[in-house]
Chains A and B, each alone.
Chain A
Amino acid sequence: MNRRGKLALGVLSAIHAAAGFAGFLAPYEPSTQHREHALAAPTRIVLRGLTVTAVLPAPGGTSEFPVRWLRRTEDGWHLFTVDEPGKIFLLGTDSLGRDQWSRLLHGARISLFSGVLAALLAGLIGTVLGLLAGYYSGWCDRVVTQVGDIFLALPWLYLLLGARAALPLDASPLVVLSGLLAVMGIAGWPRPARLVRGMALSLRERHYVMAARGFGAGHTYILTRHILPPVWPAVAEFVCLAIPQFVMAEVTLSFLGLGLSEPAASWGTMLAAFARLDAMTGAPWLAAPAAALALVSLCYRGLLSSGTRRGGGEPERG
């Protein structure tokens, strides 16, 4: 893996680790509303001698609060906090006064995890069906391809609405999101299936496969020993590509007002709050999840292109 790939992997690991330690890295709970500080800009941080200080606007000027490191509050340990009535909003607050940095970290869990889940599901189902279609060919192939085309053309919005309605009302946002992205993942199998099918078709005609058949090898043996191994990297590549796409799917759905996650902190709902005229002009710090999303996307791409591709032969977007 070249330098670019290592860098991408490093950044991705850092982001996922940060999401994992969200409670520690965030000074506040994602749902806590600091109602006196709605739509506050990011807090100014200055260095006073050797102490990192937060500077907050106060009547008649500013007031300063030193940053406390490694403190324990009622909800656990935090890397950094500020004594009340001071506040430290690294990325500002939203209209209900919720700290955006805390929401970004906690939201990463939901968004990243569900993206992985959906991509894995799509990859798994797609691999199985693609293998069946490409290897066995004939009517199996025709059925799988035709059904795949139908899946691609169906209006999934409705199924999602129905699925959301079928879930119990008090399911946690994580369960809801997982459920919905599971549906989307299951619905997403045609793309990897096509890819795997193509590969299986051509691999089947290879000499060593024919030779193995000649020796009396069973289908399962051939599939696992000869077809699958070259297929895995392609599927892995698909999954890598698909993860940010499914993360975006969650973002897009929330953005389109299907409201699948609010008020839980997910990058999708945070972005939906930003994508309005008054927020874009008045509170630009709300765009943080967009930057985070772009970063994650870039990293996954970087990971891929550090692989063996000759460059330029990438599978389609979308």
Chain B
Amino acid sequence: MGEILKAFIAAGALLSLAPPAAAREPRGAKLVVGQRGEPRSFNPVVEIDEPTRIVNSLLHSTLARTDPVSRRLEPALAESWKKSGDGRRILVRLKPGLRFSDGRPLTAADVAFSFEVFQDEKIAAPQREVLVLNGKSVSVRMLDDRSVALDLAFPTALGERMLEAIPILPRHRLEEPFRQGRLRQVWGNNASPSEVAGAGPFQIGRIEPGRRLALMRNPNYWRRGKDGRALPYLDEIEFVFAPSEDSLVARLLGGEIDLVAGLGSGSFASLKKAGNAQHLSPLDLGPSLDYTFLLFNLNRSSPAAGQLKRRLEWFSDARFRRALSLTVDREAIVRLVYRGHATALWGHVTPARGPWFDPSLPRPAPSLTKARRLLRDAGYGWDGGGNLVDRSGAPVEFTIAASSSNPAYTQTAAILQEDFKKLGIGARTVSLEFRSLLDRVTVKKDYDLAVMALRPGEPDPAADMNVLLSSGKAHLWNLGGPPHDWEIEVDDLMRRQLTATDGRKRVELFHKVQQILASQAPIVSLASPNVLIAGPRGLAGVVAIAGGHPALSNADSLYWVRNDAGASDRSER
């Protein structure tokens, strides 16, 4: 238990970016957030990109939410819910007097409508995967004005996840477009602010395409603060869109923007150095959910010939892969590529995923002797010049492809190249434009090794299904080909954890998956870039939650604190 608690604390610190003893008079005010991408739409049904997700999370509410502080699933729009004995039915009771931002009441009919929309096949919303498990959908029935019954096809611990994932949409606005089959087209980013209605803490104020987006507080928001006042405290959140990270940093320093999240380590370093920026507080919030890894081409479906065939034979030996993993200097990657603002990884699950992270996985330091021993066992040797050669005497050489879109990837590949040289391997880094690389890896399957990164949307293992299932679309190392034996085992474990009802059992199963991946090493996990934000001093209530926006997950409880000059004590972790 202590482990889990520690993991929770490590996952996201409670930050108060203001002196704890300063006058805590929550006053309404404006927060200006800078980001690179702007939302494509205000329609949760077509939410495929991060900026859209962030804005929609401020405009809409769900039945339940994970409280950022206690990290437990707590009622949001729902007042309470009850699972039936056999675990196949969830009865949800709504809070009384709920309203949308346009003043119309939110009832069970809206809940039923929302679930119907998100499960609809033609709509093909990304959230459909949460509701339709193993091909079976959820049936939702209105019991009365304030109650709904969710009937699942089979009992699963993921039932409650549905309560958190589905935003409740206003039936009075969206039913007509839905029946007419044009729901995907409404509420685009050219919508007029009064068109969009939601139950979230904010509503759309002003849209300036390409420049800014102003969200005003929703007076009909259901939540109240601990002091009984209606949330949100902030009157307005304004998003300012900038073309590049450098321009975001420039505007931060100039005072035009208050907060930027998701900074790169370079920008973060220059912000920290700008020590005279009294109004800014750059913070490293620890590991994110992202993981950067080295991918091996283990595809058995592509017809390989000649040189590629021989290289694929090398990669197909798990000992070869583990030997390479033992040579990688992860500390150098963290220190040089990310300037220390990353966390070394030996598995794809980062510590930010709380209990899902298996702390018992071995984390060996780089060891050339162990690596050499593994290679010798696998039948490799070294020739006179110190080059690694395989059984047939051919020197071991391959390319490491990396995307040029982010210098971190090419730099990581350069470090790997030098590390592998110590084993006598002639590795060469090749940098490709992002989409060209993806095309090579996922369509042509014509590559040796590649440095890639993935970002799970949430800590729950369900976010890894597409990657770990051998039939998954993101099962990069063996896309669509006949699975190896251990991949079949992983498939089985992942499916079982999806249908398990006991949370502890799910954790156990997922830990087992990680152990198999560690010993088979289809990917060599390298590092997880930390969550880096720069926020204003004087903003209180910021709590980071894994998977959401690092600073806006708790947007409804953010407030400005009067910061007396001289009071420089800050509590930050």
**A residues apposed to B, CB below 8 Å:** 31-33, 35, 38, 95-97, 161, 164-165, 169-170, 172, 257-263, 272-273, 276-279, 281-282
Contact = CB atoms under 8 A, between A and B. Distances in A.
B404 A258 contact: yes
Contacts of B249: 277
Given A31-B418, A276-B266, A262 B432 contact: no
Nearest to A95: B336
Contact of A170 (B266, B269, B410, B428): B428
6 contacts: A33-B415, A165-B432, A165-B440, A263-B417, A278-B269, A278-B270
Interface string B33-68: 000000000000000000000000000000000000
A263 B431 contact: yes
Given A170-B398, A263-B417, A278-B267, 6 more contacts: A33-B414, A96-B414, A97-B336, A170-B430, A263-B413, A282-B270
Contacts of A277: 246, 249-250, 266-267, 270
A169 B433 contact: no
A260 B249 CA distance: 27
Interface in B442-471: 446-448
A273 B266 CA distance: 11
A281 B246 CA distance: 12
B436 to A, nearest CB: 5
Q: Which 7 A/B pairs are nearest by Cβ-Cβ distance?
A: A259-B404, A278-B270, A278-B266, A263-B414, A259-B431, A277-B246, A262-B431
A283 to B, nearest CB: 10
Contacts of B447: 169
B332 interface: yes
B440 A281 contact: no
Interface string B319-340: 0000000000100100111000
B453 to A, nearest CB: 16
Interface in B518-563: none
Nearest to A277: B246
Interface of B: 246, 249-250, 266-267, 269-270, 273, 329, 332, 335-337, 398-399, 401, 403-405, 407, 410-411, 413-415, 417-418, 428-433, 436, 439-440, 446-448
A166 to B, nearest CB: 10
Contact of A96 (B246, B266, B415): B415
Given A169-B399, A258-B404, A164 B429 contact: no
A261 B269 CA distance: 26
Nearest to B249: A277
Question: Which of B250, B335, B414 has its CB near the most chain A CB atoms (within 10 A)?
Answer: B414
Contact of A161 (B270, B410, B433, B440): B433
Nearest to B444: A165
Contacts of A97: 336
B31 to A, nearest CB: 24
A281 B270 contact: yes
Nearest to A272: B407
Contact of A169 (B329, B415, B446): B446
Q: Residue among A38, A96, A273 with the most chain B CB within 10 A?
A: A96
Nearest to B413: A263
Contacts of B407: 262, 272-273
A31 B414 contact: yes
Contacts of B267: 277-278
B270 A38 contact: no
Contacts of A33: 336, 414-415, 418
Nearest to A162: B436
A86 to B, nearest CB: 21
A241 to B, nearest CB: 29
B273 A96 contact: no
A164 B437 CA distance: 11
B408 to A, nearest CB: 10
A96 B337 CA distance: 7
Contacts of A258: 404, 433
B336 A35 contact: yes
A33 B413 CA distance: 12
Contacts of B418: 31-33
B410 A262 contact: yes
B246 to A, nearest CB: 5
Nearest to B447: A169
Contacts of B431: 259-263
Name the residue in A38, A258, A260, A276 with the highest tally of chain B Cβ atoms < 10 Å from its Cβ: A276
Contacts of B446: 169
Nearest to B421: A31
Nearest to B265: A278
